[in-house]
């Protein structure tokens, strides 16, 4: 890989930070997403969290308590040789209700300490401004991104970060997996679908406000510093046709567009023709002003970041099994093995996805999530032999390197997801682990929180040391 390639790891505040009511932090959506059978309905915005049983357990509130362990965790990242670390800022730690005129100093201080700690080890911070995160007060007051008012709240938050961390940060990502809004609207964007509402109208209106907010944030970042690079973020994974039946091929193209829709706007600066036609066909009456269109046009992103866990597959004959995989409905692809959580494993699909994105946008890509969620067992001597994780990562790094070296795709860096074990977004479990670093904690939140190095820790350390040239 190029010599300045950013090898690192990724986490997000909502799944690792904890400290949910420490130092003036306000409540956020993650604080009301429970563990257990009701989780999915809440994440989808179908069940109002006010209606949850009193004794519900909310795993994100404490998570792995990165809030109090960040020094230890960053020291371990440094030991692996990380050149960058992607993490997110908790919006309600900075603006507890989202509406304050002045930010919460204690919140800013916390992230300043995190960034200083990273800089100490020459680890480049990659900051996600909003990772499945909205202050709960904004959900209550405005219905979250259903309301245009959120744009100015978000911009005040961005401006605070861009000014406060001036000179210490270079890479910013405006919204994590922006397309998740279509699948898990409450987790993705704090959106509940109320009775009688037109779901598509609600989702595309919220999407539009997020897209304008993202473009305005890009504009602001560029005004504040020439050095800032702003990216969008896509939950990626190409959609395959199950067969060469033209109907399957057409369906796969349509499914891909449901996700590309967001990046088409963020990278090219305007709504694609197919989306405008769809708005018409579905009779959506969206609040999109001429000024909004100008803002979108003038402020495309600098790079495209993405998560890749698996490819997807569609068939139109309505037969056969389905597969899971990051909540995107998919037909089961008979050529692929699946993880313990039923997510297909497809390294070549990674190369295909990277090429598809680069062909479409011709902007640098940044792989900010990839990895295998698996159950780990700790041996009597404390060791963790996670060879399955090493195998997954090795094959995916090989595919990424082929995309870069053989196909010419420009890739800025690679930050595998959950470099330290954390709470799973879709299931709320601790047992779905991605990390190189094990955290002693179970699904009910019990455990010491002690960190230890897995076999993959040493493997990844060697990968970074040899800049990807040695993957054994
Ligand atoms: C992405 C999210 C992450 C992360 C990851 C793995 O959708 O951006 O927050 O959690 O998927 O998913 P899960 O935790 O459900 O295994």
Which residues does ligand 1 sit against, CB inside 6 Å?
12, 15, 176-177, 235, 307, 326, 369, 373, 417, 424-427, 432
As a whole number of Å, the CA-based R_g of the chain is 21
Query: What is the rounded CA–CA span in Å between residue 198 and residue 209?
Result: 17
Q: Report the pLDDT value the prediction gives residue 134, as an integer from 0 to 100.
A: 98
Q: Report the pLDDT value the prediction gives residue 129, as an integer from 0 to 100.
A: 98
Active-site entry in 17, 117, 124, 369 = 369
Q: Report the pLDDT value the prediction gives residue 187, as an integer from 0 to 100.
A: 98
Query: Measuring CA to CA, how many Å separate 348 from each of 45, 331, 354?
Result: 34, 18, 10
Number of other residues whose CB lies within 10 A of the CB of residue 390: 21
Query: What is the rounded CA–CA span in Å between residue 102 and residue 84?
Result: 30
pLDDT one digit per residue (tens) for the chain, 472 residues: 899 999 999 999 999 999 999 999 999 999 999 999 999 999 999 999 999 999 999 999 999 999 999 999 999 999 999 999 999 999 999 999 999 999 999 999 999 999 999 999 999 999 999 999 999 999 999 999 999 999 999 999 999 999 999 999 999 999 999 999 999 999 999 999 999 999 999 999 999 999 999 999 999 999 999 999 999 999 999 999 999 999 999 999 999 999 999 999 999 999 999 999 999 999 999 999 999 999 999 999 999 999 999 999 999 987 776 666 656 778 999 999 999 999 999 999 999 999 999 999 999 999 999 999 999 999 999 999 999 999 999 999 999 999 999 999 999 999 999 999 999 999 999 999 999 999 999 999 999 999 999 999 999 999 999 999 999 9
Ligand 1 centroid–CA 369 distance in Å is 8
Task: Tell which atom from ligand 1 comes closest to the C-alpha of 341.
Answer: 16
Task: Assess whether 177 carries a catalytic annotation.
Answer: yes
Query: What is the rounded CA–CA span in Å between residue 264 and residue 195?
Result: 31
Ligand 1 centroid–CA 453 distance in Å is 22
Task: Assess whether 159 carries a catalytic annotation.
Answer: no
Spacing of C-alpha 172 from chain mean position = 13
């Amino acid at each position: 890989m190029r010599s300045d390639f950013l090898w690192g790891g990724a986490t997000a505040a909502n799944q690792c930070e904890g400290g949910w009511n420490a130092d003036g932090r306000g409540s956020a959506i993650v604080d009301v997403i429970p563990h257990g059978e009701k989780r999915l309905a809440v994440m989808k915005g179908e069940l109002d969290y006010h209606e949850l049983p009193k004794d519900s357990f909310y795993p994100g509130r404490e998570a792995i308590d990165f809030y109090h362990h960040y020094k230890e965790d960053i020291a371990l990242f440094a030991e692996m040789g990380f050149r960058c670390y992607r993490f997110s800022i908790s919006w309600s730690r900075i603006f507890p209700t989202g509406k304050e005129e002045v930010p919460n100093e204690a919140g800013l201080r916390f992230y300043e300490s995190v960034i200083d700690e990273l800089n100490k080890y020459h680890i480049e911070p990659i900051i996600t401004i909003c990772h499945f995160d909205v202050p709960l007060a904004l959900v209550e007051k405005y219905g979250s991104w259903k309301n245009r008012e959120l744009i100015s709240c978000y911009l005040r938050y961005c401006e605070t970060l861009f000014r406060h961390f001036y000179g210490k940060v270079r890479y910013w990502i405006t919204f994590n997996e922006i397309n998740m809004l279509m699948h898990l609207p409450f987790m993705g964007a704090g959106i509940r679908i109320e009775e009688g509402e037109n779901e598509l109208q609600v989702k595309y209106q919220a999407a539009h406000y997020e897209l304008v907010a993202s473009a305005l944030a890009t504009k602001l970042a560029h005004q504040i510093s020439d050095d800032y690079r702003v990216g969008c973020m896509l939950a990626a994974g190409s959609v395959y046709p199950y067969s060469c039946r033209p109907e399957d091929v057409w369906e796969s193209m349509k499914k891909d567009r449901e996700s590309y829709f967001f990046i088409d706007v963020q990278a090219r600066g305007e709504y694609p023709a197919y989306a405008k036609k769809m708005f018409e066909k579905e009779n959506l009456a969206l609040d999109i002003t001429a000024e909004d269109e100008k803002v979108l046009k003038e402020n495309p992103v600098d790079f495209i970041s993405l998560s890749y866990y698996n490819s997807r597959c569609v068939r139109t004959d309505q037969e056969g099994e389905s597969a899971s995989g990051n909540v995107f409905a998919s037909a089961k692809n008979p050529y692929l093995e699946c993880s313990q959580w039923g997510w297909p494993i497809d390294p070549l699909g990674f190369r295909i996805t990277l090429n598809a994105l680069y062909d479409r946008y011709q902007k640098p890509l940044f792989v900010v999530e990839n990895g295998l969620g698996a159950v780990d067992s700790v041996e009597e001597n404390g060791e963790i032999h996670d060879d399955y994780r090493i195998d997954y990562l090795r094959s995916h790094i090989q595919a990424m390197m082929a995309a870069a070296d053989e196909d010419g795709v420009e890739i800025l860096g690679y930050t595998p997801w959950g470099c330290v074990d954390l709470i799973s977004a879709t299931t709320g479990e601790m047992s779905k682990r991605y990390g190189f670093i094990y955290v002693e904690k179970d699904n009910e939140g019990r455990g010491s929180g002690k960190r230890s190095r897995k076999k993959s820790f040493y493997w990844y350390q060697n990968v970074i040391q040899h800049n990807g040239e040695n993957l054994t």
